[in-house]
Amino acid sequence: MTIISNNDIAQAIYLSSKDKTGHELSLFLVRVVKFLDRKRFLGRANDVLFRLKKIINREHGIIEAKISSVTKLHEETKKDIIHTLKKRYEAREIILLESLDERLLGGIKIEANDEIIDASLKNKINKLQEYLIRKV
């Protein structure tokens, strides 16, 4: 028995729907939902959709970056982050999803492409503490 992963389902949906538009795409999506129901995969739909979105974004050169900070970021800071992430991931477009997190004390934390860039003050203090108490 072969196990079908959510990523496999998302990839199959993407490849099968890639060239479809309008009514043809609508019919295809109805068939996909019926297939998921018949195979009892509807409970996995949220994860499949999440993975499908990642596949589509990757194909179009789009990166979604979650940014956490203590205060709202200035526009110039956002532009710098977008420029850096575009260069780092060779992306055409960066979508910033901002959230405020008072636990950070200061700095920022960026999550993009299954990677975490932790430039928060809390993280820097923890690293300094580890350095100071390590055995020489």
Tens digit of each residue's pLDDT (9 = 90 or more) over 67-96: 999 999 999 999 999 999 999 999 999 999
pLDDT for 1 equals 63
pLDDT for 105 equals 85
**Torsion (CA) 119, 123, 128, 129 in degrees, nearest 10:** 180
pLDDT for 136 equals 66
Longest dimension (CA), the chain: 69
Amino acid identity of residue 17, one-letter, is S
Q: Where are the domains of the chain?
A: 6-58, 62-133
Average pLDDT of the chain is: 91
Residue 11 in this model has a pLDDT that exceeds 80: yes
